[in-house]
Structure 1
Amino acid sequence: MEFTSKMEDFGFFKSKLGYCLFTKNTVTSLLVLLVYVHDILVARALEKSILEVKAYLDSLFSIKDLGVAKYFLGLEIARSLQGVAVTQSKYIRDMIADAGMSGAKPATTLLPIGIKCTSEAGDALANLELFRRLVWKLLYLGFIGPNISHASQQLSNF
């Protein structure tokens, strides 16, 4: 709670959508802080605003500025003149490599809606631990990409 009160003292508001999201609106800028354990992602519209936030945080806590964010919590962040794009391409590539499926052809469809999965159908899995790890990773992807939520939820039953 100390962090929250310090950020509120500096003019940030804690989001009602999540305890890890703080926002600050000024006349010239919108500042957004996303906090996860000991990592803080600061997004802004103006460079001056972000420097003030970093100086404030450094006065309270010992911080290390890692520069412009490229990855955060499995999200890949790319900037261009058109704006900011957030993807999970690297997370997905790493997940595919972990499964030993880097050479596999992509499927254009996900698990069909209405499919009945049972533990009796098909062959036993050779590596149950790998299957469970992949399902958890798919469930995480489902929070960001709801189009895979159905398939990952069905698979999590096993």
Structure 2
Amino acid sequence: MVKQGFKQSQSDHTLFTKKRGDKITCLIIYLDDMIITGDDNEEIQSLRENLVKEFAMKDLGALKYFLGIKVLRSRHGIFLRQKKYVLDLLAETGLLECKPAETPMITNHGLKIEEGVDLADRERYQRLVGKLIYLSHTRPDITYAVGVVS
């Protein structure tokens, strides 16, 4: 990608960008999946052609689903959803029947260890917090609560 004039992001090493004038092309790669986007149609077409020459690949068309995030388009914009991810997480934790809360956590609430109470399974707790962090990409309303528990 660097040979083709793209710059690798320092904050996300899977993201490559190329600017030409006031236009930009972005490529993000995760294992064997990639997303190409931007407003430079000429550069996007050139990138596709060069990638096909180098790699055996298939164009799946407009993005619909990526890393557990569903991409929906309407005349109002592009929307990201993780409904299946949420349902799987609720099933894993036994909370499928839970009721939604408008405010998932009281502001400035601190966590503390209570005497005489069994500690949670550390690995399971960390795994669930990691899943909640990933969920907060499309649910910024839970970011505060996830930050507290993490």
How do 1:1-158 and structure 2 match up within 5 A?
7-26=1-20, 30-45=24-39, 49-120=43-114, 124=118, 130-142=124-136, 145-156=139-150
- Distance change in 2, residues 1:107/1:9 (3 Å): same
Q: Take 1:60 and 1:68, find their aligned partners in 2: how far apart are those partners?
A: 22
Q: For 2:147 and 2:77, locate their aligned partners in 1 and report how far apart those are by CA, in whole Å.
A: 33
Q: Distance in 1 between matches of 2:56 and 2:104?
A: 46
The Cα shift of 1:70 comes to 1.5
Amino acid at match of 2:54: L
User: In the TM superposition, what is the alpha-carbon distance from 1:72 to its structure 2 partner?
Assistant: 1.4
- If the length of structure 2 is used for normalisation, what is the TM-score? 0.73
8 Å CA contact retained: 1:29, 1:49: no
Paired residues of 1:138 and 1:152 also in contact (CA < 8 A)? yes
C-alpha RMSD of the superposition:
3.3
Equivalents in 1 of 2:28, 2:48: separation in Å?
A: 13
Residue ranges of structure 2 left out of the alignment (5+ in a row): none
SS of residue in 2 equivalent to 1:110: coil
Q: Which residue of 2 aligns with 1:3?
A: none
Q: Residues of 2 paired with 1:146 and 1:92: CA distance?
A: 14
